[in-house]
Amino acid sequence: MSIDQEPTTTKSSSSTSIKKKVEVREIFFYIPNLIGYFRIITAILSFLFMNNHPVLTLFFYGISGFLDAFDGYAARKYNQGTRFGAVLDMVTDRCATSSLIVYLATIYPNYTILWQLLVSLDLASHYMHMYAMQSSGSTSHKNVDSKQSYVLSLYYTNRTVLFVVCLLNELFYVAIYLHYYNYFWLGTLLAWLSAPVWLFKQFANVIQLNGASLILARMDADDKSK
């Protein structure tokens, strides 16, 4: 989600542009942020049903993930991109994915170390990337230049690639979940179809973590050199 400038209004009787004061509470009721709140509600509902109702889990978790494609669209359409919205979007994504993986750790305890590593990589790479981009003066964590990383640039700047990768990454975890609840053929089919993109997402997370580390280390080196 991009961060846009404060909206302005113009008097019809003159060419003087007058800035409109935006109250803090207005930010919380921006359309993309309202979508974000609804995503949180549906994600929590999926957690509540996760233990005994796979169909309802799939329904609510799917809604939460699907709406991720619309908050950014609403922000651009209505000029309502905000820092709060950008962080809310990323935090919702990370919490939903981590919560699903945590549940997978309870039904597939033999792979607990794998689930732990996946959660750690996901959270660390995204947090360090956002912090590094903001520290370097970028207005959005999605403003990744191809010179910095072609993979991350393709991932963040191409909305189609971003949507497909995020969708299939989540679908992989959902497929593993469905497999446990005797949706064998569906879970297995979805897992095989989404596995290549899931692997790409983990690869992108490693690149993201490495790139963020380099940005922060260069900034530290510049500061120490002064």
Please report which confidence band the pLDDT of residue 157 belongs to, taking 50, 70 and 90 as the band edges: confident
Alpha carbon separation from 5 to 25, 58, 80, 83, 142 (Å, rounded): 17, 38, 9, 11, 17
Q: Is residue 3 part of a domain?
A: no
Q: Is residue 67 part of a domain?
A: yes
Q: Is the pLDDT of residue 159 over 90?
A: no
pLDDT tens digits, 173-182: 999 999 998 7
> Domain of 220: which CATH number?
1.20.120
Q: Is residue 15 part of a domain?
A: yes
Q: Is residue 191 part of a domain?
A: yes
Quick one: average pLDDT of 177-189?
Answer: 83
Quick one: average pLDDT of 105-122?
Answer: 97
What's the maximum distance between 2 C-alpha atoms anywhere in the chain?
A: 72
Q: Is the pLDDT of residue 104 over 60?
A: yes
Task: State the total domains in the chain.
Answer: 1
| Domain span including residue 80 | 8-225
Q: Which of 68, 71, 93, 122 is catalytic?
A: 93
Q: Is residue 2 part of a domain?
A: no
Q: Is residue 205 part of a domain?
A: yes
pLDDT tens digits, 47-70: 999 998 999 999 999 999 989 889
Active site residue 93: yes
First to last CA, the chain: 34
